Amino acid sequence: MAAIPSGVLGALDSTSDRAVFRQIADQLREAIDKGRFTEGAKLPSEAELVEHYGVSRMTVRNALSVLQGEGLVHSEHGRGVFVRPRPPVRRLASDRFARRHRDQGKAAFTVEAEAAGSHPEVDSLEVKEERPTQDVSARLGTPRRVLARRRRYLLDGRPVEFATSYLPLDIARGTPIAEPNPGPGGIYARLEELGHQLDHFEEEIRARMPIPNEVKFLRLAAGVPVIHLIRTAFDTKGRPVEVCDTVMAADAYVLAYQLPAI
């Protein structure tokens, strides 16, 4: 059995009133934060940690469970426990919807993926007319029916985002927006071609723990929260032309906002 290299992990404090498994979790967390265990690295095995700390296997498992609950590590059956990758995509809100990207035939998700050096995909898509929820209806000016576009986004094969766009039927029905593939630049490019030049967006963001179907759909590890974002797009006449309800894996994104200088 290989010994844990000197200086990677410390010793337990027998005088501390902090539970032993939490002390072990603290030391592993510190080692991850300081880069002693890098992204994707395998942590010492349970047997190695038992030998290093002189504790029971159950104590070690409890310590690892704490880190899994925090979303810092994930377990692979038969292989071990590994450090989870840090957020790969910087989501820059002030640039991702810039018109120059639409003019180049690029949707916002494609722009982000290319900036991160990742391969974007949409592997689940549903387009249909439906009755909106009260909240969506109020945001869009109380239409009775909307066109809903639901899709799941992947980066390098990993599900990272699930989004539903709601658009008033008097705008979207019978247009390329109602097609599975709306064309280069996405639905925003089509909206502008239809005379709804985009003026600004309003976004509401909160973090929360996922509900069961979100865990399944985004393949979330234990302890990983989601970012819930609701965005409303307005045209130059002040009309709301789209509401997008998006749930993102919190360990897949860094949300970054540029504010104008005062």
- For 216, residues 6+ apart whose C-beta sits below 8 A from its C-beta are none
Which has the closest alpha carbon to 86: 38, 158, 155? 38
DSSP string of 153-178?
A: EEETTEEEEEEEEEEEHHHHTTSGGG
Res 72: pLDDT = 84
pLDDT at position 120: 85
Give dist(CA 94, CA 101) in Å, integer: 12
**Is 259's pLDDT higher than 60?**
no
Token reading at 152: 């799941």
Residue with tokens 């404090």: 13
pLDDT band at 251 (very low <50, low <70, confident <90, very high): confident
**How many CA atoms lie within 13 Å of 86's alpha carbon, on the beta-carbon side?**
8
Q: Which of 31-45, 85-99, 195-209, 241-255 has the lowest mean pLDDT?
A: 85-99
Q: Express as a percent the part of the chain with pLDDT over 70.
A: 88
Question: Cα dist. 170→71, 140, 177, 188, 190 in Å?
Answer: 44, 12, 12, 16, 14
Residue type at position 52: H
Q: What is the mean pLDDT of residues 1-16?
A: 84
On average, the pLDDT of the chain sits at 88
Measured at the CA of 121, the angle between CA 115 and CA 122, to 5 degrees, comes to 130
- What confidence score (pLDDT) does residue 109 get? 72
31-42 mean pLDDT? 89
CA–CA gap between residue 2 and residue 233 (Å, rounded): 57
Amino acid at 73: V
Higher-scoring residue by pLDDT: 24, 262: 24
Minimum mean pLDDT range among 29-38, 138-147, 186-195: 29-38
